[in-house]
Structure 1
Amino acid sequence: MPEVIFTGPAGRIEGRYHPAAQKNAPLALILHPHPQFGGTMNHQITYQLYYAFVHRNFSVLRFNFRGVGRSQGSFDHGVGELSDAASALDWAQTINPEARTCWIAGFSFGAWIGMQLLMRRPEIEGFISIAPPANLYDFSFLAPCPSSGLIIHGDKDAVVPHRDVTTLVDKLKTQKGIVIEQKVVPGANHFFDAKIDTLMEQVNGYLDKRLGATGRKPTAA
């Protein structure tokens, strides 16, 4: 899990990068929750998502948005953070020129940024969106949603009510040829306190279904 530093629009960006053994392995980009509420690339859910893709032979990058950790710049209400994510994907693609496809995964604020990047980058073929803040941010840009993916949230989420995420999913499900799978973790709040194992069981199950479990490594990290 080497530390990496690359250049973003606001200066230095700090990340952690796992290179896959195969040169043409797919890429995965992992986006952390809100920088002003303790979100970093080392958040537990971000970390777990990172290793979910590592175990499936992806080259995986997670990074700190501007103003977090050793990343330069300051919080930019999503505009600059989207640029940071695009720069991170550019960097990963530069050192993995043979990678044919990419996945993106994000939690909360990171899910919102990830879905915006999905609309701009046609090479992204799958996504995992955990507790997307459908009541706090505008998701109308997803028209239509270009890739199939998983949206997962808790039914006891007081930050992003269950009904708001379900409304978002219902809108996305109308697109032909795109399959949006929704999973609800019973009893889970926004941060999945005491429910992270259940959350990751759902995420891992979805990835195995989409990707096949044949190339999966042992789960010990």
Structure 2
Amino acid sequence: MQINSQDVQISGPAGKIQAILDLPKGSSLTGGASGDSSVSDCDASFISVNCHPHSLHGGTMTNKVVHTVSRSIAGLGIPSLRFNFRGVGASEGSYDEGRGEQLDLLAVVDWMKSRYPGKQLIVTGFSFGSFVSALAASQLQPSMLLSVAPPVQRFDFGDFVRPECDWTIIIGSKDELVEYSGVVEWVNSFSDRPQMITMDDASHFFHGRLIELREKVENIVTQHINNQANEKD
């Protein structure tokens, strides 16, 4: 499915938030259709919001992993938004160690819900973005949480409450920034363990493995959509 990307600006708690909305061809900011036949493939039941890696270490909404995840989801017919946290790019404000960034995420989700009312929410995060999205999940109550390379030994996940939703973790076994064994130990600490997908020999930024990452994201989200549909039957 062809993807159209639109630059948008959202009002946030620290000022304007710069964002990109990845849309299936033929859909619109208001969730309607423009008459293109490809819209018939659009899954109108979901929206997605995606969080980027560390703001002080070059993390932005155009990061290759975030770009891949967001457009993979949009390719399934789901409006998918990626945005810059406060102090990154044209987003106003300054880095706040994950606290203010959670407020940014809440504002962005509210913006998406106002334009696509009644849709189920998918939230994804990569590295620092997975920390922010995980801590905000209890407030957001998403239908699905996807955490890519969660930095469980670099940030304090002590306030994290396991969300009552589908939750999947993707991690490379050769991640040079996030200790793989630490993620395994963290996952095993939950009585209701999330699904964990290991990409053998993949690095933190999935160099040379982005196509494989895209396929895994597509499979994970498709399975979630199918499960939700089956529960309604």
Q: Bin the TM-score by the shorter chain.
A: 0.7 to 0.9
Q: Deviations over 1:28-63 (max 9, x none)?
A: 001011111111101111111111111122121111
* 3-state SS of paired residue (1:203): helix
1:198 equivalent among 200, 203, 212: 212
**Are 2:158 and 1:140 aligned?**
yes
DSSP-derived class of the 1:156 partner: coil
Secondary structure of 2:143's counterpart equals strand
Letter in 1 for 2:89: G
- Please point out which of 38, 55, 72 is paired with 2:75: 55
* Structure 1 residue 209, shift from structure 2 partner: 1.9
Return closer, same or farther for 1:144/1:45 CA change in 2, 3 Å cut-off: closer
Alpha-carbon distance, 1:94 to partner: 1.2
Give how far 1:203 is off. Answer: 1.8
* Conserved 8 A contact 2:76-2:218: no
5+ residue gaps in structure 2? 33-43, 227-233
Matches within 5 A, 1:154-165: 154-165=172-183
> Which residue of 2 is the match for residue 88 of structure 1?
108
The answer for the alignment partner of 2:134 in structure 1 is 115
Distance 1:31 1:144, change over 3 A: closer
**Cα deviation, residue 142, structure 1:** 3.3
1:182 aligns with 2:186: no
**Root mean square deviation of aligned Cα:** 1.8
Instruction: Give 1:211's aligned residue.
Output: 225
- Structure 1 unaligned runs (5+)? 213-221
Aligned residue type for 1:197? I
Question: Offset of 1:197 from its aligned partner?
Answer: 2.1
Q: For 1:155-178, what per-residue CA distance to the aligned partner results, in whole angstroms no more than 9, with x for missing partners?
A: 111211111111111123x13xxx
What CA distance in whole angstroms lies between the structure 2 residues aligned with 1:195 and 1:18? 21
Count of residues paired in the alignment: 207
Letter in 1 for 2:183: V
CA–CA separation in structure 1 for the residues paired with 2:10 and 2:161: 32
Asked if the contact 2:22/2:71 (under 8 Å) is kept, the reply is: no
Question: 2:38 aligns to what?
Answer: none
Q: Which of the numbers 124, 128, 134 marks the counterpart of 1:105? A: 124
Q: TM-score, normalised by structure 1?
A: 0.87
Identity rate, percent: 29
- Match of 1:71, SS state, is coil
CA contact (8 A) 1:25 1:57 kept: no
Question: Is the aligned partner of 1:8 residue 2:12?
Answer: yes
1:125 to 111, 129, 143: 143
The alpha carbon displacement at 1:27 in A equals 1.0
Answer yes or no: is the 8 Å Cα contact 2:135–2:161 preserved in 1: no
State the 4+ residue runs in structure 1 displaced beyond 6 angstroms.
none
2:111 maps to amino acid: W
**1:76-97, CA deviations, whole angstroms, 9 ceiling, x for partnerless residues?**
1111111100110011111112
Report the secondary structure of 2:186's partner residue.
helix
1:160-175 matches, cutoff 5 A: 160-172=178-190, 174-175=191-192
